[in-house]
Amino acid sequence: MKVELYGLRLPEVRPRDNLAKMVADAASKEAGGIKDGDVLVITSKVVSKAYGFLIRLDDVKPSKRALRIAGKTGGDPCFIQAVLDNSDEVLFILPFAKLVEKDVIRIERMSRNIAGAYEAIKRIPYILIVRRGGQIYSDAGLDFSNHPEGVVSVPPENMDEYAREIRRRILELTGRKVAVIITDTEMWISFGSLDFARGSSGIEVIHKGFGNLDLYGKPKFGGVDCIAHEIACASALLTGQTDEGIPAVIVRGYKYVESEESISDYQLSGNAMKLAVKEIIKSSINILGFKWLFKFFIR
Amino acid sequence: MKVELYGLRLPEVRPRDNLAKMVADAASKEAGGIKDGDVLVITSKVVSKAYGFLIRLDDVKPSKRALRIAGKTGGDPCFIQAVLDNSDEVLFILPFAKLVEKDVIRIERMSRNIAGAYEAIKRIPYILIVRRGGQIYSDAGLDFSNHPEGVVSVPPENMDEYAREIRRRILELTGRKVAVIITDTEMWISFGSLDFARGSSGIEVIHKGFGNLDLYGKPKFGGVDCIAHEIACASALLTGQTDEGIPAVIVRGYKYVESEESISDYQLSGNAMKLAVKEIIKSSINILGFKWLFKFFIR
């Protein structure tokens, strides 16, 4: 069994560009065209560029709340306002600079330009982890990099719709039936970043193998590979190489299950997220005792 | 740019089998042999099988603590003891059955065998999320599936060492210089499962791009792709198809950075994990107010 990943170089993408056509053209050059059964993976950043989802921070007027948060975090009030404008709820605060200071995040293992790293951290000392619809984002997914000073890109809000739209256009342009996944990069404390599927169309998102019988006839606890995220991570091997200018990847030879389900079918509501945290805390106290709770407050 | 993934079918692996040789033989059949610069990905499960890391639960004598936890969770005391034996610390409890009952985990979206799914959940109603060395595991990584009733496999403790050993043997057998990654599947609430790199040898684990200058000369916040996990997820597209019997994958054409760093270089100590949680709670209360804390306790 063999799966192939083709990185697609695109010219600089600008607002109102025809992204589907640019991808189809690149596929002709670099992957022998688009074929039936391909999975087309596109970074959310390039979708934001094509649809013009860019914010000039100078145009943002910070609210009292943004000013108060900025006063405590030392961040830019306009940027914080832009994060709040693009969030439904702030879930918690990740004190990035503090975790670097305390050596939990070991920045020297993630950087060959330590001075630049500290400059970047000074600009974003705290990260707001927010809920946006049913998805979790750091700083609402706003992204400074490779934009002029003072400009950030915003991920599109319902990425399933954009995935569906691009899939439809690819069919019109090429006559080929593909699945489309739109991805976004999220950073992890101390473990680097991974790419996640934020929108999809035409592919079963999660393998439905929970409870299937194993070789010994026992029902399986598991068997629920998140295919969409796995494809996002596979593609990140190519799109992550920013110097190469590869914002799209064709995954060929992977036999996915065709489906009209999409990423939003697996999203948790804000209440469900809070309920999950509550139930975890309740069970942990109940089973491990109250001393479990204190472990996080007392050294 | 093109990357190829070759799934390697292996015969049933048994204790004391020569795993490196089995992989090299399979590569000859299915990938034109092993080549310089290949990344060889192997599931921890097949490593456990080859090295005989299997537990018969009948042989395990539950301690008072395991009996107490089992009394509260309804789980099997012998299994819980085996989890405790293979953990350094219980971090928290994930009440899986409860989250299914409360519709946070929507099991019907992950299963085509609902009766089997509920039987599997009845067997494991609560999951112990534990620290094992510097890594986090659910139920210490113990795995029932595709073993006879009452037998579980245990992931090897220092997987970097096994990765190094397999890499060395591949070099001896074939004369080829490869990198090796050992992977393990971990489940996520409601989002299915992903594969993670638990051990590695010969490859830079995380891209060191934090603080690099972007196209506009601004230092980048990010640029830290976790290459090892991305490769693990890419390979899961092939190994996840359990019916195919593919426990190893060759990733070819990906230009990784050769390095003697490994997964354990990025592990957090137990204290660092707790410190991170504490600092997140402190910052969230400080910046969002005490009402933030109550949100999780009051509906």
Q: Do B273 and B195 share a domain, yes or no?
A: no
For residues B36 and A15, give the distance between their C-alpha atoms in angstroms, rounded to a whole number: 43
Q: Are residues A274 and A183 in the same domain?
A: no
- Chain B residues touching residue A75 (CB < 8 angstroms): none
Question: Is the same domain home to A159 and A294?
Answer: no
Q: Which of B111, B211, B284 sits opposite A113 (nearest CB)?
A: B211
List alpha helices for B210-269, DSSP H.
227-239
**In this structure, are B223 and B236 located in the same domain?**
yes
Contacts of B194 in chain A (CB under 8 A): 225-226, 229-230, 233
Which residue type occupies B218? K
The residue among B135, B137, B140 whose CA lies nearest residue B153 is B140
Complex confidence, ipTM: 0.96
Do A200 and A275 lie in a common domain?
Answer: no
User: pLDDT digit of tens for each residue in chain A (299 aa)?
Assistant: 899 999 999 999 999 999 999 999 999 999 999 999 999 999 999 999 999 999 999 999 999 999 999 999 999 999 999 999 999 999 999 999 999 999 999 999 999 999 999 999 999 999 999 999 889 999 999 999 888 999 999 999 999 999 999 999 999 999 999 999 999 999 877 789 999 999 999 999 999 999 999 889 999 999 999 999 999 999 999 998 666 689 999 999 999 999 999 999 998 888 888 899 899 999 999 999 888 888 766 65
Task: Look at A236 and B230 and tell me if their CB atoms are within 8 Å.
Answer: yes
Render pLDDT for A17-37 as a digit per residue (tens, 0 to 9). 999 999 999 999 999 999 999
First to last CA, chain A: 51
Q: How many domains does chain B have?
A: 2
Quick one: B135 and B183 in the same domain? Answer: yes
Residues B185, B294: one domain?
no
Chain centroid to CA B95: 20
Whether A243 and A284 share a structural domain: no
CA-based angle A239:A136:A87, to the nearest 5? 110
- Chain A residues closer than 8 Å to B94 by CB: 280, 283
Strand boundaries in A76-191, DSSP class E: 89-94, 127-132, 135-138, 151-153, 179-188
**Within this chain, do residues A76 and A92 fall inside the same structural domain, yes or no?**
yes
Q: Which of A298, A292, A268 is nearest to A280 (CA)?
A: A292
H or E element that contains A48: helix A44-50
**CB A119, CB B219: distance < 8 Å:** yes
Chain B's closest residue to A271, CA to CA, is: B299
pLDDT tens readout for residues A183-207: 999 987 778 999 999 999 999 999 9
pLDDT at B242: 61
Task: Find the mean pLDDT for residues B253-259.
Answer: 97
**Chain B hits for A212, Cβ within 8 Å:** 111-113, 116
Burial label, B32 (beta-carbon count in 10 A; 0-12, 13-18, 19+): exposed
Contact predicate A130/A87, CB 8 Å: yes
User: Cβ contacts (< 8 Å) between B80 and chain A: which residues?
Assistant: none
Q: Nearest chain A Cα to B125, which residue?
A: A221
| Average pLDDT estimate for B259-272 | 92
Q: Which of A139-143, A186-190, B255-259, B264-268 has the lowest mean pLDDT?
A: A186-190
Backbone angles phi and psi of A235, in degrees to 5: -70, -30
Q: Give yes or no: residues B164 and B131 share one domain.
A: yes
Of the residues B221, B238, B278, the best mutation for testing chain A's interface (the one with the most A CB atoms within 10 Å of its CB) is B221
Cα diameter, chain B: 63
Instruction: Based on the fold, state whether residues A93 and A231 are members of the same structural domain.
Output: yes
- Is residue A244 domain-shared with residue A296, that is, in the same domain? no
Query: B225, A111 in Cβ contact below 8 A?
Result: no
Choose from B107, B122, B193 for mutation: most chain A CBs within 10 A: B193
Task: Give the residue from A185, A264, A268, A283 with the most B CB atoms within 10 Å of its CB, the best one to mutate.
Answer: A283
Q: CATH number of the domain at B97, please.
A: 3.30.1330.100
Q: Is the Cβ–Cβ distance between A241 and A185 less than 8 Å?
A: no
Full residue range of the structural domain in which residue B295 is found: 269-299
Residues B197 and B205: beta-carbon distance below 8 Å: yes
How far apart are the CA of A265 and the nearest CA of chain B, in angstroms? 9
